[in-house]
Structure formats: C-alpha cells, structure tokens
Amino acid sequence: MNAHVENTLFNDRNAALLDHPADADHLKAALRTLGGGVSIITAGEGEARTGATVTSATALSVEPARMLVSLNRSSSTWPVVERYGHLGINIVGADHETLADQFAGRGGLRGPDRYRGGEWTTAVSGAPLLVDAVAAIDCVVEEAIERHSHVIVIGRVVAIRIGTGHSLLYQNGRYHDVAAR
Ligand SMILES: Cc1cc2nc3c(=O)[nH]c(=O)nc-3n(C[C@H](O)[C@H](O)[C@H](O)COP(=O)(O)O)c2cc1C
C-alpha cells in the first residue's frame, strides 16, 4: 500500500471520531465515562474531623506501600489532612452510598456531621476509619504536591484493614453496585 492510500484510510477512520476542543468541559465529559472506585477520605480528630468522597485514591506503588489521592485545595479536607499529617482511605461498597453522599457535601453536612450513620474507629495514624469499609488504608502524609487547583497527597501506608464486599463504582454521574452486575 502506498503512503497516499495509507494516509487516506487513516484520515477516513479519524473522520468517524468526534473531535472536541481540549477544554475543561470536554475533559469532564470524557472522564464521566471512566468508572472510578469510590473511597471516603477521612482526617482529623473529634470536632475537627472532616473528609471527602473521592475517586482519585489509588496506589502509587505497592513496594514501598504508598497511596496517592488528588484533593481539591479549596476543599475542607485538605487543610485538615495537612494539619494532622494523616488520612484514612476507606474503600466503600453499595451499603455506603448515603455516607459517600454525605462526604461529597451533598445535603450540606460539614465536618464531623459527615460521619453520621457510620461506625468509626481510630487508626494507627489517628485518622478515623470506617469499621465496615470494604477495605481501609491508613496513611501518614509523606509528601504533598500542590498543582493548579489540587494537591497530590502521597500517603505512606501504616495500617490496612480488609473487610468484605465490593467497591462502589462511580460512572456517568451515578453510583454502580459492581456486585449486582
Ligand atoms: C464520586 C465523587 C468523586 C469525587 N472525587 C473527588 C476527588 O478525587 N478529589 C476531590 O478533591 N474531590 C472529589 N469529589 C468532590 C468531593 O467529595 C467534595 O467536593 C467535597 O467532599 C466537598 O467539599 P467541602 O469539604 O469543601 O465541602 C468527588 C465527589 C464525588 C461525588
């Protein structure tokens, strides 16, 4: 096949794809298609406790055991993570949809009120951990890299709890129960 024919075929294939400008709205639209595992980030003690629902928690490496989470710098959670130097990463399941909504700030709950309805214990790092989480990973902050609107928090794993069930998935603006598929 000569170069011209190859090129024409390539362009024809591309013409079938929809091109969009590389802006925030289209990036959000692209990312909505990506299913993300839901975790609740917890930090602080007593009345200073707060937290956030995230899909950005993932492993940086397993050896050494390091997690990373991308947190909005303007969220109520980042200053508490920074102050206490710890974070609980609670991987949640379908039973925790209400809690996930609370920690996403839906319903207007803030700080310790977001913990309402859950059973909590204190982890090695001092962070609160959800007793019946699918799994919970307790971290101390190793490094925090502030970039643009967010901060990439690298957590050194200090304790791990493994429960039962499947992680809740968030895709196209709603939760999906993986176990029900
Ligand atoms: C499914 C889901 C995933 C989210 N993922 C993130 C995330 O990775 N990082 C983040 O900073 N906020 C994320 N958010 C938003 C936070 O949960 C929310 O902004 C925060 O808890 C509320 O902010 P506030 O504490 O300042 O009220 C997510 C929300 C939802 C519903």
**Cis amide bond preceding 64, omega within 30:** yes
The answer to whether position 2 is within a domain reads no
Report, as an integer, the average pLDDT of 43-56: 98
Domain that holds residue 46: 36-180
Distance from the Cα of residue 33 to its chain's centroid: 16
Pocket test for ligand 1, best of 39, 53, 171 (most atoms within 8 A of CB): 53
Q: How many domains does the chain have?
A: 1
- What is the per-residue pLDDT across 161-174, written as a single tens digit (0 to 9) for each? 999 999 999 999 99
Q: CB within 8 A of 173, min separation 6: which ones? A: 32
Does the pLDDT at position 8 exceed 70?
no
CATH of the domain at 133: 2.30.110.10
Does the pLDDT at position 15 exceed 70?
no
- What is the per-residue pLDDT across 125-144, written as a single tens digit (0 to 9) for each? 999 999 999 999 999 999 99
Compute CA distances 89 → 4, 7, 62, whole Å.
53, 48, 15
Higher per-residue confidence, 151 vs 11: 151
Closest ligand 1 atom to 106 CA: 22
Compute CA distances 162 → 22, 89, 167, whole Å.
40, 12, 12
